[in-house]
Structure 1
Amino acid sequence: MDAINTSDLDIADRRVDPFLMSVLKSRFEAIVREMTLVVMRASRSAVIKNARDFSCAILTFDHKLVSVEDALPIHVMSMDMATRPLTELFDDIARGDIFLNNCPYTGGTHHADLIMAMPVFHEGEPLFWVVALSHHADTGAPVPSTYLPFAKNIFEEGLHFPCVRVAQDYREKQDILRIGTMRNRVPDMWLGDVRAQIGACRTGERRIGELFARYGRDTIMGFVEDWFDYGARCAKAAIAKLPAGSYTYETRHDPVPGVAEEGIPVRVTIHVDPEKGEIVVDARDNIDNVAGGLNLSENTATGSCRIGVFNNLDESVPHNEGAKSQIKVLLREGSVVGKPKYPVGTSVATTNVNDRLMIAGNCVFAEMGAPHGQAESGNHLPAGVGVISGHDPFKNGKPYVNQVFVGYAGGGARHGFDGWLTYCGPANAGLIQLDSVEVDESMYPIVIERRGVLPGSQGFGEFEGAPAMAGVFYPLDHDMTIVYAADGTSFPPRGVLGGGDGKESESIKLAGSERVVLPAFAEETIEEGAKIAFTACGGGGYGDPLKRDPRRVAATVNRGWLSREAAETVYKVALVEGGELGVLVVDEARTRTLRAA
């Protein structure tokens, strides 16, 4: 997007000098980055410190998003919903307080995401919230997992903290922490992860205090207002370039036995008003809550509707309150994609149906035609991203629980770009890190036998979806339980505008010479001597495969992601040996003949 011209903004309306505004923007981002480093370095569970399933943010005390940095999209685009109940429920918020909220019925995402929020005061006035959200390895659910698609209500999920004060006057409240550790399979790990979040919040509070000491209240708060105004102008300018109209897209989550026998359709309509610079995302036309954990929380439904829009705007649009204000979201109470009706289960609210909602939000822009929109991506929870548990035979039978990120789904293509290989799912869009094999094997009694790209599994198109990852891992000297929810087994990612579909997910148990195809949604025991094999989804393709640049086809073949035969049959691109040993190049004459035919 072209740079925003602020010359028409009356100088009297500017609260802060433009150069100082740039400095303060970077200072706030640096504070969030430092908070992020505290969580990453101080946490104990692999899902947080290795995979980085956590996010930090700064909001104003009246719950407006100021700054995020390297945060997962699903965690921050509706962070205000998690802090807003605090000022409604507590009339004695004081300096040194820290609050814990992981309840979807008080603004949380889902029960595994513990959201820690601390007020920041200046001269007795509360002005900001510093927030650290971490996805915990265990929350004491009946099943050793934080993803429970079969949990019909919150009574079948893990422990909920519906806006609880966990520290007062900078001192931890031991009674609250005792509740958490007692209801946890790995209490020491849980407590360490909680304290990492507390440390991040205290770091953020201290650093914002230093900003006030240097620049003063009026300058800092003036910057915030100017920053929001700038975000709104950027979003309006980006939306103004889109074609006006209403556009609809529907995708479908896989069937889940006993919960949604026919699957769950997910439908989104957007109304684009370029003159107002506004987009309304309407997700009300969806089915009622289901009897399982696949229902979205209001937080995740709202955030995901916004994310689909942001993914289709220029990347220079800041992710702050001003930009958010140009995206309106319409939800229906009691809908699987909307505001859940208490006490239905929302355990899987950050993935699965939520992935499908973001996918629909990404793809609906393709209804405008090229170059807009993107193809469907893969989803979060194949067996390669399962929650494993058991008793470690090398640590005197000590119990362990952790979500691994051994191998995950590929991203969908968009105009001009092939899909992102290490995408994982739209809720994080590549920001979750792939586990280190060596670190996983050192922390848990497992062996990762292999993982890698599955050639030919991508959605073909002018721009290709990312190929699928596949792999095998197994427990050492004990029985291991794995819980996963592999959406995309029945309805794999679709291409758009003529692009092909990505490969479906697969879950397989290998026991000697026996090969058992497992259900897509299951809790399985992998006995000593057995193995779990998985294929995550490949991403969908974008556009007509015959329009793909032949040189890109050759590059994909040389990378090992596409066979020479597929290049000729799918893309009508003929390849021959080049000057360098083992490297294929395009046979220009034969390719022209194939494509002409």
Structure 2
Amino acid sequence: MTDSRDNRIDPITLEIIQGSLQAVSDEMFAAMRKTAMSPIIYEVLDMGTGITDPTGQLASSGAGIPAFVGVLDKAVQRILELNPPDTVAPGDIYATNDPYYGGVTHLNDMVLAMPVFSEGQLIAWTANIAHWPDLGGMVPGGISNDATEIYQEGVRIPAIKLFSQGQPIESVMRIIEVNSRLPETLRGDLWAGVAAVRVGARRLEDLSAKYGVETFQEAMRHFMDYGEQVSLRALKDLPKGTFELSEEQDSGVTYHVKVDITDQRFTVDLRHNPDQDRGPNNCARDGCLIAAQMVFKSITDPYGAANGGSFRPIDVLTRPGSVFDAQEPAAFAVYYEVEVRLYDLIWRCLAPHLGGLLPAGNFSSICGTFIGGPHPDTGKHFTIVEPQIGGWGASLEGDGNSAIFSGFHGETYNCPAEVAETRYGLYVDQLALNEEPGGEGEFVGGRGIVLDYRVRNDGCFLTCAYTRNIHRPWALEGGEQGSSNYVEIIRVDGSVETYAVVTALQVNEGDVIRIRTASGGGYGLPANRAPDAVSRDIKNGFLTPERARQLRQL
């Protein structure tokens, strides 16, 4: 680590600058949340903000989805690769949503990035990412399980300028707008992102002016070096060796991971995996790196700040053309289920070897739910975009949490019923804990949810892609696996249809869309559960007396 004394910068000043960078990231997040037009952004908080150094190394992360914050540094690095340095000027704002051009995820997730200058030097970038409800594509909302190439998923923005020296490039703005079924909402979300990067840039300019460019840049370098040292110290306490796991997925393919841990490196080898999917179940190599970073952070320094230095010990090995390193023109709409499966696979691979540090498997799906159609009150098209909450796995220390977002999609909220009913053409009939059996053990998995949407107009649709439907959340130390993620369509005539994956399924007035998310896996033998806890489970409706007797005999 750089010795601050050699540079005559006292540690207190360095700490103040680092604290200021975090505060700026959080202010960017607040500005974006308060000005966005989509409930998926201002209520669910399906977004992220951050600051990078001039080369695109993460210097500070704001609130938001961890997997989104992990995109920002990679997006800035790709923007720098594709745009010559002499073309980057104060006031510019770049946009990318394309996984082949730094977008990393899928086309609905737009990244805006702004270079920050001080004394004529590029000193940092401010950046944000958010899910925009509709950017075109073959179906409303852009998410289709039937897509076979990225051209079918929406308009592609390949790391280009959206603003030049402070002024919007109207031709680019218009191209984006006319490709959306929700142009007014899109425009509002776009300007919210612009406001966020601009307020961040102003704060960094003030910070650099106060302490000087050299001190500002040294503080960022210092903190990244410190992040690396924290990670290296934590690595020394982890078990050493090579750990491998293969797991069949609901689709029938098998994913494989090999993790090698030494005192200096944390290597995730994904080279022996299936070829890229012919549909949209693919992810970019950078997405795999994010999954590895999140698990790494959880087992090394879960409560500390994250920056580029924190992740220097990580190596991720992929095979181009595989599902974890898909090549153009592969489709990416359901990338999130591939990445959350990888995240869970690495977690499951390491959990038995870490002495109870990690809990059993959770519902581990984004459970992305897309409902849209003509609004019964206005006639305008609406699209609801919602991740769902579910049950977490039990651990060595106790029962799992109920109704929590997956770790991959953390720092978000479910949309309030009042907002959903106002903005969308739906009624929310119930939101309750899922009482289906699953996740039993000495400590039980947390419960998923049951959420009913009643459709108010004909000609609406449902799209979803849930995993952990066939292969349920895994248990540890003799516990029982959790329940399943799925959706039921209860038609007006009383018939019931069940889905985990479906695209643009028609639903009409009076139909009920019932979402069920899984309970987490159990930990320890069910027969060892304390009697008072068993009584409580029976009282809460999570366990029948007959099932309790069966579990005592296992």
With the shorter chain as reference, the TM-score category is over 0.9
**Does 91-100 or 483-492 show the bigger shift?**
483-492
Q: Secondary structure at the match of 1:418?
A: coil
Q: Is residue 345 from structure 1 mapped to residue 331 from structure 2 by the alignment? A: yes
- In structure 2, runs of 5+ residues without a counterpart are none
- The answer to whether structure 1 residue 273 and structure 2 residue 257 are counterparts is no
SS of 2:372 mapped into structure 1: strand
Does the 8 Å contact 1:475/1:531 carry over to 2? yes
Other-structure match for 2:343: 358
Q: How does 1:484-563 map to 2 (within 5 A)?
A: 484-523=464-503, 524-548=505-529, 553=534, 556=537, 561-563=542-544
Aligned to 2:13: 20
The corresponding residue for 1:394 is 377
- Report if aligned partners of 2:469, 2:485 keep a CA contact under 8 Å in 1: yes
Q: Within 2, Cα distance between the matches of 1:69 and 1:557?
A: 42
- Structure 1 CA distance, aligned partners of 2:344 and 2:404? 13
Q: Aligned ranges for residues 297-376 of structure 1 at < 5 Å?
A: 297-337=284-324, 339-349=325-335, 351-368=336-353, 370-376=355-361
Which letter does structure 2 place at the counterpart of 1:427? Answer: F
User: Secondary structure of the residue that 2:377 maps to in structure 1?
Assistant: helix
Q: How does 1:78-477 map to 2 (within 5 A)?
A: 78-91=71-84, 92-108=87-103, 109-255=105-251, 263-274=252-263, 276=264, 278-337=265-324, 339-349=325-335, 351-368=336-353, 370-382=355-367, 385-395=368-378, 397-405=379-387, 407-429=388-410, 431-477=411-457
Summarize deviations over 1:238-277 as a string: whole Å, max 9, x none: 111111111112333312xxxxxxx232222111113x2x
Q: Distance in 2 between matches of 1:419 and 1:264?
A: 29
User: Which digits, 9 at most, give the CA deviation of each residue in 1:457-491, with x for residues without a partner?
Assistant: 45123433221211221111333211111222211
- Give the C-alpha shift of residue 137 in structure 1: 0.5
CA 1:178–1:367: 2 relative to 1, 3 Å = same
The 5 A counterparts of 1:32-51 are 32-51=25-44
Q: 2:187 corresponds to which letter in structure 1?
A: L
Q: 1:399 to 1:547 in 2, by over 3 A?
A: same
1:58 aligns with 2:51: yes
SS in 1 for 2:514: strand
Aligned-residue offset at 1:300: 1.3
Q: What number of residue pairs does the alignment pair up?
A: 550
Q: Specify whether residues 231 and 13 from structure 1 end up closer, same or farther in structure 2 by C-alpha distance, changes over 3 A only.
A: farther
Q: Is contact 2:456-2:508 (8 Å) kept?
A: no
1:206/1:517 CA distance change after superposition, 3 Å: same
CA displacement at 1:416 relative to structure 2? 2.3
Residue 555 of structure 1 deviates from its aligned partner by 5.4
SS of the aligned residue for 1:290 comes to coil
1:105 Cα shift? Answer: 0.6
Counterpart code for 2:313: Q
Provide Cα deviations, 1:389-427, integer angstroms capped at 9, x if missing partner.
1111211x111122135x432223343253332333332
Partner Cα distance (1:252, 1:424) in 2: 23
Inter-partner Cα distance in structure 2 for 1:237 and 1:554 = 44
What do you get for the CA RMSD once the two structures are aligned?
2.2
TM-superposed CA distance for 1:116, in Å, is 0.3
Could you say what secondary structure the match of 2:519 adopts?
coil
Paired position in structure 2 for 1:583: none
What CA distance in whole angstroms lies between the structure 2 residues aligned with 1:78 and 1:462?
38
- Determine the C-alpha separation between the residues in 1 that align with 2:8 and 2:67: 32
Inter-CA distance 49–380: structure 2 relative to 1 (3 Å threshold) = farther
- Paired AA for residue 368 in structure 1: H
Instruction: Report how far residue 554 of structure 1 moved.
Output: 5.3
Q: Find the residue that maps to 2:300 and give its secondary structure.
A: coil
Counterparts of 1:113 and 1:24 in 2: how far apart (Å)? 30
Q: Is the 8 A contact 1:498 1:543 kept in 2?
A: yes
SS in 2 for 1:352: helix
CA distance in 1, matches of 2:190, 2:293: 29
Is the partner of 1:332 in helix, strand or coil? coil
Q: Is the 8 A contact 1:456 1:563 kept in 2?
A: no
Normalization by structure 2: what TM-score?
Answer: 0.94
1:495/1:540 contact within 8 Å kept: yes
CA distance in 1, matches of 2:528, 2:266: 31
CA change 1:474–1:381 in 2 (3 A) is farther
Quick one: distance in 1 between partners of 2:318 and 2:18? 32
| Structure 1 residues 567 and 226: alpha-carbon distance in aligned structure 2, compared to 1, 3 A threshold | farther
1:547-586 to structure 2, matched below 5 A, reads: 547-548=528-529, 553=534, 556=537, 561-563=542-544, 566-567=547-548, 569-570=550-551, 572=552
Q: Does 1:72 align with 2:65?
A: yes
Contact 1:501-1:540 within 8 A present in 2 as well: yes
**Structure 1 residues 323-332 or 509-518, which shifts more?**
509-518
Aligned mates of 1:100, 1:147 — CA distance in 2: 20
Identity level (%):
26
Q: Per-residue displacement from partner, 1:194-232 (whole Å, max 9, x unpaired)?
A: 110000000000011111122111221111111011111
Mark the CA change 1:22 to 1:457 in structure 2 (over 3 Å): closer, same or farther. farther
Counterparts in 2 of 1:14 and 1:552: CA distance versus 1, 3 Å: farther
Match of 1:258 in 2: none
Instruction: Name the CA distance, whole Å, in 2 between partners of 1:328 and 1:546.
Output: 42
Structure 2 vs 1, CA of residues 98 and 500 (structure 1 numbering), >3 Å: closer, same or farther? same
Structure 1 Cα separation of the partners of residues 284 and 128 of structure 2: 19
- Structure 1 contact 422–434 (Cα < 8 Å) conserved: no
